[in-house]
Amino acid sequence: MGDNERVNTETVNQPPSLTIALLARVQEAIRASGGWLPFDRFMAMALYEPGLGYYANQTPKFGHLPQGEDGQGSDFVTAPELTPIFGHTLARQVGQALQDTGTDEVWEFGAGSGALALQILDALAATGQRPSRYTIVDLSGSLRERQAATLAAHTGVVAWADALPEALSGVVLGNEVLDAMPVQLLNRVEGQWFERGLALDADQCLQWAERRTDLRPPLDIEGPQDYLTEIHPQAEAFVRTLAERLQRGAAFFIDYGFPEAEYFHPQRHMGTLICHRGHKTDNEPLRDLGLKDITAHVNFTGVALAAQDAGMDVLGYTSQGRFLINCGLVDVAKDAGPRENAMMQKLLNEHEMGELFKVLAFAPPDSTADWTPMGFSAGDRTHRL
């Protein structure tokens, strides 16, 4: 370690698990990179290393119940798993976007269990609007198997892809996708900025280590306090690439996060990085490699600017609760029973998902001339980005 490097001497001993091999690969990567691995590279391995990373292995992930001793259960629940009302309502926006942009395909990134795709396809089929193709872009082979089983009724329509094509048209969806893209960690200590990464101690255990850096958050952080935060170059690069290749249609991203001024607020001095396992959260990403989700909240201003830089128009930005109400959730749920109504409230309530989750949409300029997405018809917050 050089003079411009800091080491947190707290080490993390990995417990025996099916992911011992993942730890070995991380250790190998640290050695190969000269003894220090930036956090975004570690996060990519922890989540997506083939066969071992959290989203690349066979452990259950999505559902209502936590993991049990038998290995069954799940780590977290997303809106489509809460209630089909979510997907049936979002389908109204998808249907409008397909019609008004003159496209006939849907692309979904990170489709999880396939629940959202099923809800949207069922709802569109019921109104005679089922697209000619529904393509899922997902890196997880184990999740693809589950998606295929879930979507068996739509076999002739659903397809899978490993990567973006050079050009595409249609409606693009991403529900809780951006938060799982690797982030870089920046730490201001006594006025100096460091990038946080990983090193190995004398026993080859993982430990935090930091290097001086010229990287900075997009906003100056007021005050002299120490300040840990994230920057999102990979998510912004993904959106920029998508925007460059989207020829016609619209893209809708739903995730938890904030506009830039809130994301880098002086009081948010510990950042937003968090881990999910067994429906509990922790702030220890170096433990239990491959057995927990690692996420960070989304900087929606950065995402919107990346889309604009690639020539897109921002169609709207608002809370999930407002978006779903604008899309007719109340009408969709009019015949719902008590349980579904209770789940619906989780989607809408400010202290649940209704305010923390936001919706951002963008489209090529020639796709926006004659229509406004129904989801932003009231309560649009684009001016806050």
Structure pTM?
A: 0.93
**Per-residue pLDDT at 15:** 47
372 contacts 326 by C-beta, under 8 angstroms: no
Count Cβ atoms below 10 Å from residue 198 Cβ, excluding itself.
23
Tokens of 348: 């809408």
200 contacts 207 by C-beta, under 8 angstroms: yes
358 contacts 319 by C-beta, under 8 angstroms: yes
Could you tell me the fold of the domain covering 79-181+231-384?
A: Rossmann fold (3.40.50)
- Chunk the chain into consecutive blocks of 10 residues (it has 385) and report each block's average pLDDT, rounded to whole numbers: 54 58 96 98 96 85 53 72 95 97 96 95 97 90 84 96 92 97 98 98 96 98 97 98 97 98 97 92 93 96 98 97 97 87 89 95 85 96 97
What is the C-alpha to C-alpha distance for residues 219 and 188, in angstroms, rounded to an integer? 13
Enumerate residues 6+ apart whose C-beta is below 8 A from 357.
Answer: 79, 254, 255, 256, 319, 320
Question: On the CB side of 5, how many CA atoms lie within 13 Å of its CA?
Answer: 13
Task: Calculate the alpha carbon distances from 372 to 31, 56, 119, 365 in Å.
Answer: 52, 38, 23, 12
Tokens of 84: 């089909």
> Domain limits of the chain?
5-72+188-224, 79-181+231-384
